[in-house]
Structure 1
Amino acid sequence: MANTPQSKKRARQSETRFAINKARRSRIRTFLRKVEEAIASGDKDAAAAALRAAQPELMRGVTKGVFHKNTVARKMSRLTSRVKALG
């Protein structure tokens, strides 16, 4: 348990960051799920639109430190190639 004032504050900050990051991760996963569902339905236009909507959210996750940049780059690359293959 935190004893010093500094460690108590760090514990409070940690809880706050955890809640914010959890919400952001959930939001990003929702965008990714929408892309996956559009790909599964076979609708190329819907999949492309969902991918365009998901891209800024993924990049925001990188800048906020929720995801590593290479992880997001890999996800975007794989999703883009899957959307292109729908044709």
Structure 2
Amino acid sequence: MSKHFEDARYYLGRAAEHAKAGVKEELEPLQERVSKLVGDEPEEEPEPSRLEKLQADLKELEERAEGEAREAVESARERVEAYRTRGEKSAE
């Protein structure tokens, strides 16, 4: 497919997403009024429990530790590579 068609398809998709978001935003107040009149108000979501908060915190810590571990491994690999490169140069 031509790059121009791919670009056009992408931008049409984005335009559709923006149009959908705009319509939803415009109709929200009307939907709330109708829900109040009909008596079909959505229930508020309960606050997360203590366990759910702890699980979310642990997940965040796990992701951060994983990222730090990856950085440490990458740094170690770079240092080993630099050490090996220096050893090869001095052997010549």
Could you tell me the TM-score, scaled by structure 2's length? Answer: 0.40
- Using CA pairs below 8 Å that are at least 6 residues apart, which structure has the higher relative contact order? 1
